[in-house]
Amino acid sequence: MEVIVCKTAEEASRLAATLITDALQTTPALVLGLATGSTPLLLYRELIKACQSGADFSRVRTFNLDEYCGLPPEHPHSYRTFMNAHLFSNLNIRPENTHVPDGTADNLPALCAAYEAAIAAAGGIDIQVLGIGSNGHIGFNEPGSPLDSRTRRVTLTEQTLRDNTRFFSAREEVPRYAISMGVGTILEAKKCVLLGFGANKARAIKAAIEGPVSPDSPASALQVHRDTVVFLDEAAAAKLQ
C-alpha cells in the first residue's frame, strides 16, 4: 500500500483525480469502479472540472460498488440517482456504459452473477475508487465479510444504518439490505484508490493500514492488493504510527 497524507480532503481529492485523468490519457476506454457517499464528492467535482477542460469520458465504462435493495433506480436515495446527480450527468459519459446494481431485481443471485460477468466482459476494473466505513467496510462489505466474497446481497450493520441515516429523513427509511461487490471482487481491480477523510475514519484507517489482515476490518484486505494507493487528510491519518 502506498499511503499519501494531505493537509486537506480537497488536496487529496485533487491528487486522486489526477491519477484517474492521467490513466484516461493512456487508456481512453478506462474501466472505473466507483463509490457513493460523502467521501468521493470532491473527487467527482474534480473529474467534472477535468471533463469541462477537455478530458474525454466518452469511452469510459463504470461499475458502482453497491446499491440498496428495494430502492428503484429513480428513487431519490438510490445510489443510481446519487451517481447521476453527482457525476454521470455532468460528464460526456454514455449512460449505457455506467453500471449500478439493480436493487429491485427479482432474482438477486442471477443479478449478482450477471454483474460479475459484466465486469469481466469489460476486461476487469482498471481503477477502483473506495471510501471506508467508520467500521472499516469497503463497498458494503461489513466486518465479518469473507475476504474472498463476491457480489451478493448483504445485511447492513447497525453502525452503517446509523451512519447512513443522514441521507434519509428517518432511520427506519434506510434499507437494511444492499447488493455489494465482494471483497474478492474489489481485490481483482488492477488498482485501488482508497479515500479516507475526517476524524471519524481515523480508527478504521488505522485498522486497515496497520492492523492485521482480517475480516474484522474488510479494508485491511487491501494490504494484500498489489497496487493500492490510500489518500488521507490529516484528521483521518491522525492515529497512524
- Residues in the site for ligand F6R, rule: CB under 6 A? 35-39, 65-66, 131-133, 137-139
46 is catalytic: no
**DSSP-derived pairing of the beta strands 228-233 and 152-155:** unpaired
C-beta closer to ligand F6R: residue 91 or 219: 219
Distance CA 33, CA 126 (A): 8
Are 227 and 124 spatial neighbours (Cβ–Cβ below 8 Å)?
Answer: no
Distance CA 121, CA 131 (A): 25
C-beta closer to ligand F6R: residue 97 or 145: 145
Distance CA 57, CA 61 (A): 8
116 is catalytic: no
* CB of 25 vs ligand F6R, minimal distance in Å: 26
* CB of 74 vs ligand F6R, minimal distance in Å: 18
137 is catalytic: yes
Active site residue: 66, 67, 116, 163, which one? 66
Active site residue: 142, 163, 188, 233, which one? 142
Are 196 and 39 spatial neighbours (Cβ–Cβ below 8 Å)?
Answer: yes
86 is catalytic: no
* CB of 38 vs ligand F6R, minimal distance in Å: 4
Q: Which residue has the cell 449478482?
A: 112
Query: Which residues are designated catalytic?
Result: 66, 135, 137, 142
